A = this chain, B = another copy of it.
Amino acid sequence: MASGGTHSTLGILAGGGNFPVTIAELAKRRGRSVHIVGIQGEADPAIERFPHTWIAWGEVGKLLDALNRAGADELVIIGGVKRPDLKSVRLDMGAIRNLPLLISLTVGGDDTVLKNVVRFFEAKGLRVIGAHDAAPELVVPAGPVGNLVPSEDARRDIARGIEVVKALGKLDVGQAAVVVREHVLAVEAAEGTDRMLERASELRQWGERARGRREGALVKTSKIGQDLRVDMPVIGPRTVERAAAAGLAAIALEAGRVLVADRAEVERLAQEAGLAIFGVTVD
C-alpha cells in the first residue's frame, strides 16, 4: 500500500488512456502535488492540465530530470503503450549513460522487462507504486459495482469461473474465463479479454445457448505473482460492451486487484444492459 508522504510529489509516467489524468486528479484531491511525464504519441494531451513534461521514447535523461526537478519520490507507470517505432526513438545522454541497463530491458519475456523497468527506476531513487496504491478509488471493491447483483445462476457460473482462473493463474496462464450454465465456454491465454469475449459471442450465436435472456459470467482476476505495480488487470467500457454482446449476465472481478477505467461509463453501460458487475474475493 501507499506510504508516500502526502507532501511529496507523485510522478506519473503516462502512456495512453485516461488513467494518468484520473490518477492525477485523485492525487490532487488528496492534496498531493503531481508531475506527469507524457510519452509523445501515447499520452492524452489532457495531461497538460497538470504540471507535465513531454518526452520521446528513449529520452531517459529528460524523464529522470523532470521527475527529479519536480521532487517526485514515487512514480506510477500507467497507460497503454504501443511498441515504439524505432525511428521515433531518441536516445538522449541519460539514455546513453544507462544503455546497458536499457538493453537489458529488451531481453526476456514481458514479465522480465517489467521487472527490469521497476528495478531501473528504483536504482534512480524513485519508488514505483501501483495505480491501486496511488488511487485506491480505481480498484474494484468487494461487492457490486453499480446497482445490480448477480442472480443465483450467475453466481454458480462465477464460482466455476473462479475455480478455472485460479488453476490457470497458478500456471501463469491468462486471467479470465467465460462460463455459461457452468460450462466453460472460453479461457483466455495470450489473446486478451476482448478477443476471448468475441469468441464467446460467436460460440453462443450458433450454439443452442442463445435463448434471448442473459446468462453466464466473465470472470477476471490477477495472476499469482503478477506485479500489480506495472501490470494490473483492467476492465473498461469496452469490456462491458463485449460482455453484453456475448449475452452474459455478470462480470466478476477480483476485488482489490483489477482496475476499472471510466467507472461512471462502466456502470452506466452495465445498468443499461442489465449486466451485474461484482467484486469477488479470490484466495
Interface size range of chain A in the complex:
20 to 34
Interface residues as binary, A239-281 with B (CB distance below 8 Å gives 1, 0 otherwise)? 0000000000000000000000000000000000000000000
User: Which of A8-16, A43-51, A164-172 lies at the interface?
Assistant: A164-172
Whether a CB of chain B sits under 8 angstroms from the CB of A97 is no
Shortest Cβ gap from A80 to chain B (Å): 15
Q: Which of B173, B177, B199 interacts with A164 by CB under 8 Å? A: B173
B-contacting residues, A166-223, CB 8 Å: 167-168, 170-174, 177-178, 181, 183-191, 195, 199, 203, 207
Tell me the complex Cα distance, A177–B109, Å: 19
Count the copies: 2
Residues of B within 8 A of A174 (CB): 184, 187
Q: Is the CB of B203 within 8 A of A191?
A: yes
Whether a CB of chain B sits under 8 angstroms from the CB of A163 is yes
Tell me the complex Cα distance, A189–B172, Å: 17
Shortest Cβ gap from A222 to chain B (Å): 16
Shortest Cβ gap from A225 to chain B (Å): 15
Q: Can you list 8 pairs linking A and B with CB atoms under 8 Å apart?
A: A163-B171, A167-B168, A167-B171, A172-B184, A173-B184, A177-B189, A191-B203, A195-B199
